[in-house]
Amino acid sequence: MGAYLLRRLALVVPTLLGIILINFAVVQFAPGGPVEQMLAELKGEGGSTLGRLSGEQGETRAPQNTGGEGSRYRGARGLDPAVVAEIERAFGFDKPWYTRLGEMLAGYARFDLGRSLFRDKPVVELIVEKMPVSISLGLWSTLIIYLVSIPLGIRKAVRDGSRFDLWTSAVVLVGYAIPGFLFAVMLVVVFAGGSFLQWFPLRGLLSPGMEAAPFWDRALDYAWHMVLPTIALVIGGFATLTMLTKNSFLDEIHKQYTVTARAKGATETRVLYGHVFRNAMLLIIAGFPSAFIGILFTGALLVEIIFSLDGLGLLGFESAIRRDYPVMFGTLYIFTLLGLVMQIVGDFTYTLVDPRIDFEARR
């Protein structure tokens, strides 16, 4: 297992590098970069924005109507080329693409993700600030999904074809068919003051002024804020795991070793939890790390936006809209790295759940 883990870890670097290179290449051809956005802002707000930018450079300039026809930016028309050059230098776009790529990769090797172009903060600091929100959503949603789906899936497998199995399948499929963001909007409308009830708050993880409250008051307020976002994530997630659990148990229940166990006089409970459970739960338990990462970094995006939760999903969305490249690539680097590591953790979990699995024997 040690040699297998070393090989998997060695593959992390080229995989991570390839993903970053592909995304970097795509971004180079995408219109509307940070320079274009600043130029549009200059034209929209006039001298106030330009004065702020020039003030950061220690001097003040006014836009001159020189045409800007020779510039590679469409938004540069009517602006002094010196101003455009200043903006490029402020954002680092006065350097060739390969120089910027090399500096970015060199920084990533030291876990230096650079600074945000528009927030004026290190990217690492931004990620650390937003991480508690996303971890809260991902952790509680994943735990609730597993706590509900596994017992429900086992029960459905044991009572396969019964009335209980049929109506729970209908409920599960309806929940799966409703997109999480649409269910989140419905929860807001019904329970968060949209049109009917106002039982739950709509913004943040804590109410204003609760930061200095006693621990248990803060914990209750935190749980109160987490109810609706967690439900919105759970509804769409538990359907897949429930059916996966049911099908895994159905496959194992009818195998020869369970027939042999029953023939030896083992009770149905002993057969189910002493023999079937470990084999049927292999895929489900081993997939927990990947499931958590998936909910943490992908499923929470729209939910964070709808409930105004300032987490990693909202940070990534706003960075993509504003073309804040250091934040975009920094979060991509962290998310991809965590995803690759969690895949290795998932493989290692397989061996913990079932020691018979030997990755060293694979060729």
pLDDT in tens, the chain (363 residues): 677 778 888 888 888 889 888 888 887 777 667 767 676 666 665 444 444 444 444 443 444 444 444 455 555 565 566 766 776 676 777 778 788 888 888 888 888 888 887 787 888 888 888 888 878 887 888 888 888 888 888 888 888 888 888 998 888 888 778 777 788 888 888 887 766 777 887 777 777 777 778 878 888 888 888 888 888 888 767 777 888 888 888 888 878 888 888 888 877 778 777 778 777 777 677 666 666 666 665 556 777 778 878 777 778 778 888 788 888 888 888 888 887 887 787 777 777 766 666 666 555
Specify the DSSP element, H or E, that contains 83. Answer: helix 81-91
CA-based nearest residue to 172, from 236, 231, 239: 239
Cα separation of 238 and 171, whole Å? 11
Q: Residue 95: which residues within 8 A CB-CB, separation 6 or more?
A: 103
Residue with tokens 């809209």: 321
Cα separation of 279 and 249, whole Å? 8
DSSP string, 342-355: HHHHHHHHHHHH-T
The β-bridge partners of 115 are 122
CA-based nearest residue to 49, from 63, 66, 67: 63
Cα separation of 352 and 288, whole Å? 13
Cα separation of 318 and 324, whole Å? 8
Cα separation of 47 and 67, whole Å? 17
Domains of the chain: 32-103 (no CATH), 123-361 (1.10.3720.10)
Q: Is 163 exposed, middle or buried (0-12, 13-18, 19+ CB in 10 A)?
A: exposed
- What sign has the CA pseudo-torsion 350, 353, 354, 358? positive
CB 148 within 8 A of CB 355: no
Cα 54 to chain center, whole Å?
Answer: 37
CA-based nearest residue to 149, from 221, 249, 37: 249
CB 235 within 8 A of CB 180: yes
The model carries a pTM of: 0.71
| Helix and strand numbers, DSSP H then E, in the chain | 17, 0
